[in-house]
Structure 1
Amino acid sequence: MPVLFETQYNPPAAFFAALAGQDALWLESHEHYRKQTYRNRCLILTAQGVKPLTVPVIDGNRSEKVRITELEIDYRQNWVHQHWRTLQTAYGGSPYFEYYADYLHDIYVQKPALLFDLNLSLLAFFLRCLRLRIPVEFTTEYHASYPPEALRDRRDWLSPKDPVTPEPDRTSVRPYAQTFGVQFVPNLSILDLLFMQGPAAGSFLV
């Protein structure tokens, strides 16, 4: 069965766990942007705890009236440098940061104009890293809901406002050793899993 998601910035690992066994990944391309979601932010683990990284968008006050495929990134803010420095500080000592760093950095320095395009480039990178071979398609029009027998609608299923949820199928990532702390922190960006487990990361998506 196809699964439908919105595009996300460095999505949580659970995003990729939800793709297992699905026929295709559909990406919502006709919605309007929504603030304070994973569309333009991710959660990583630092020495100070969980930290959000947010991609600024142009005309933030009006952004929710803009179609997601037309939303521009605000490069007047030096967010690329800030995000990269934060990732280096948080994960520079992790086992696989250097393994992925050059490929990931290349995506950032391309500076795509649109948030949608940035998220697509990152998604393609993560699918390759996790060896997830799943067709990726795009919606052709917006529907508020879909019949459950047609596809698995996972739009806004994961939220940075509620990163810890009791639903077991939303935290379907096997615990792994993390850089900071002794208690496993769930629902972080896929970057956390990749930097810690490298090519074995896919085996933790259950």
Structure 2
Amino acid sequence: MSTVLFELPYCPPAAFFAQLLTADRLLLERHEHYHKQTYRNRCLVLTAQGVQPLTVPVVDGNRSEKVSIDALEIDYRQNWVHRHWRTLQTAYGNSSFFEYYADYFHDIFVSKPDRLFELNLALLQLLLRCLRLPLAVEFTGEWRPSYPPGIVLDRRDWLSPKSLPDTASGAGLRQPYRQCFGAGFVPGLSVLDLLFAVGPAAGQLLLPAPLTGGEPYAPSAGLSI
């Protein structure tokens, strides 16, 4: 059984999900320390002003890199839920499928999970259902810095907002799709951009990636989607 290992991101790009097409399991890293300026607490969306990052603020951000990812609390003193939702409405309110999915995502945002890991997991479970990717989701039982060649494909920190793909195929997509703004296609955005544009067909546009590398892993706990 093939497994791909990722950190748990916030509304990740399509390339994240493209990696899952050839896997049977998604293994999520639960024993790392938080990393700043990554997809763990940010995503990229396309607005009329161009690509815009949406960042979830965390409590005590200056010391956050010393905190375990599953214990990191979200900072609700900042009104980020309102800002993120207004940005999504402005960017995608006129897209073909925003209203079809909006209530599901809005319910997660306004539920205000205490921890970043809880928020990201709830959003990921919803996205997997929307993309019709019914693979098992499991968690690491301990921190391991690396995985020798084998069954597990270690994709931790493989995706970064600082190194965006240049093409649709580089972003894990079979072909460009019609976006809400701009004449040219912008790769590397959150999968929300794809989902709101093409709806239930979103999963069919993902480009499968070969699953190689890593080693067999027996997770200690998990859940099924």
Q: TM-score, normalised by structure 2?
A: 0.89
Map 1:133-152; keep pairs closer than 5 Å.
133-152=134-153
Cα distance in 2, alignment partners of residues 148 and 115 from structure 1: 31
Counterpart of 1:112, as a letter, is P
Cα distance in 2, alignment partners of residues 134 and 194 from structure 1: 19
Cα distance in 1, alignment partners of residues 103 and 171 from structure 2: 29
Cα distance in 2, alignment partners of residues 158 and 23 from structure 1: 20
In the alignment, is residue 8 of structure 1 matched against residue 9 of structure 2? yes
- Which residue of the partner structure matches residue 172 of structure 2? 172
Map 1:52-67; keep pairs closer than 5 Å.
52-67=53-68
Distance 1:165 1:68, change over 3 A: farther
Aligned-residue offset at 1:175: 1.1
- Which residue of the partner structure matches residue 29 of structure 2? 28
What are the superposed Cα offsets for residues 105-154 of structure 1, whole Å, 9 maximum, x if unpaired? 00001000000000000000000000101000000001111012131011
- Which residue of the partner structure matches residue 192 of structure 2? 191
Map 1:1-206; keep pairs closer than 5 Å.
1-164=2-165, 170-173=170-173, 174-206=175-207
Query: What is the SS of the residue equivalent to 1:62?
Result: helix
Percent sequence identity over aligned pairs: 68
What are the superposed Cα offsets for residues 154-173 of structure 1, whole Å, 9 maximum, x if unpaired? 1111100111268x6x5221
What are the superposed Cα offsets for residues 55-76 of structure 1, whole Å, 9 maximum, x if unpaired? 0000000000000000000000
Aligned-residue offset at 1:26: 0.1
**Divergent runs of 4+, >4 A:** none
Gaps of 5+ in 2: 208-225
- Which residue of the partner structure matches residue 217 of structure 2? none
Q: TM-score, normalised by structure 1?
A: 0.97
Query: What is the SS of the residue equivalent to 2:20?
Result: coil
Distance 1:7 1:186, change over 3 A: same
Contact 2:13 2:188 in 1 (8 A): yes
Query: What is the SS of the residue equivalent to 1:109?
Result: helix
Counterpart of 1:124, as a letter, is Q
Gaps of 5+ in 1: none
Contact 2:166 2:187 in 1 (8 A): no
Cα distance in 1, alignment partners of residues 93 and 206 from structure 2: 23
Cα distance in 2, alignment partners of residues 24 and 175 from structure 1: 27
Cα distance in 1, alignment partners of residues 50 and 94 from structure 2: 16
Contact 2:5 2:153 in 1 (8 A): yes
